[in-house]
Homo-oligomer: A and B are copies of this chain.
Amino acid sequence: MPRRMLCLTEGHTEPHAGKTAANLVRYKREEVVGLLDSTQRGRTAGELLGTGGDVPIFGTLDEAPEANMLVLGIAPPGGKIPQAWRGVILDAITRRKMDVMAGLHDFLSDDPEFVAAAKVAGTKLIDIRKNNEKTIARRKGIRPDCLRVHTVGHDCSIGKMVVSVEIANGLKRRGRDAKFIATGQTGIMIEGDGLPLDCVVADFVSGAAEKMILEHQHHEILLVEGQGSLVHPSYSGVTLSLLHGCAPQALVLCYEIGRECVTGVESVKIPPLALHKQLFETMANLHQKCEVIGIGINSRRVSAAEAAAERARVKAEFGLPACDVLRDGPDELVDAVIQFHARGDWHGPL
């Protein structure tokens, strides 16, 4: 039976906290019946998430009788299931016989109450982040002629996944054999494969990234979704494990206009973008030649005029292609990847 998803975003139907829901309506709209947020009943995804058009926001489960899967549509720091959501989750399982899908660190399938309810109802609990990865990165067998482009950024939740998906889709439209490599819960829900790197045991994160590369390197170009940032005191290790595990030859550096403090650790100021570029290039070049080939701008908080001015400024500062893939379209970054691929000097040994 096809998925007909209802995204639970209760009290969090906005682009940042609700990024999982936002990206499901953006990329899997045909499978999304609506959102569930009793505080926003009657409004639409387009109004509140800036994407998803007229996808409706329901106030109760019963307003979406065709839904067969409840998706927890938020990705809070720490990945805990909000206590207030337990009632609706249990109701969806017990009364509506819905499957439930989540990408949190707290697993549905470790919760005795959810497990018991799903067993009685005969429904599935799908934990996107649950894994048992135990592969160590070895840097063996990596194809030198598969171009690995990795999106990195100055903070978490700034759109690295969106930039990766948009470039991959843009390359496919140009007839190139590109593949999006999902490394986080939302990307996995969209792509249907991938590994939730931030939930892998620390020793095996780079191994899990490498495993995905090895599995998909028959493609011409891989777009590897980045995580966190090298300056984020809580998640920098995930970022570095991924950078070293996926062994990219090219990076697309992403940032959000107006983001000043590290998400979740507001005492830490985000340094200038030029420092991020230097840090990522330094750490990647420890192992193979790698350079930033373009810049992904997230301009959702500013006007079109401000976004255009900032785009011109950042292009001048770095001498690199730069665009907001949602506002401007991804063509400039797609071109950058194609031109870099054609240069051919990235076929270095590992």
Which A residues are within 8 Å of any B CB, using their own CB?
77-79, 105, 134, 136-140, 197-203, 205-207, 230-242, 244-245, 247, 264-265, 267-268, 271, 279, 282-283, 286-287, 350
Contact = CB atoms under 8 A, between A and B. Distances in A.
A244 B237 CA distance: 8
Contact of A206 (B78, B234, B287): B234
Given A234-B138, A237-B238, A245-B233, A200 B201 contact: yes
B137 A203 contact: no
A205 B237 contact: yes
Nearest to A231: B286
Q: Give the interface centre of A199, A206, A242 by most chain B CB atoms within 10 Å.
A: A206
A201 B137 CA distance: 17
A291 to B, nearest CB: 19
Contact of A202 (B205, B233, B244): B205
Given A136-B264, A233-B137, A233-B244, A203 B198 contact: yes
Given A139-B267, A287-B233, A241 B203 contact: no
Contacts of A239: 237, 240
Contacts of A137: 233-234, 265
A238 B242 CA distance: 11
B138 A265 contact: yes
A105 B205 CA distance: 14
A105 B203 contact: yes
B206 A199 contact: no
Contacts of A268: 139, 287
Q: Give the interface centre of A203, A271, A350 by most chain B CB atoms within 10 Å.
A: A203
Nearest to A208: B202
Contacts of A77: 136
Contacts of A237: 202, 205-206, 237-242, 244
A198 B206 contact: no
8 cross-chain pairs, A with B, having the tightest CB-CB distances, nearest first: A237-B241, A237-B237, A137-B234, A198-B203, A233-B244, A237-B240, A240-B240, A202-B238
B271 A203 contact: no
A297 to B, nearest CB: 23
Contacts of A134: 78, 105
Given A139-B265, A233-B137, A265-B137, A238 B286 contact: no
Contacts of A200: 201-202
A230 B203 CA distance: 13
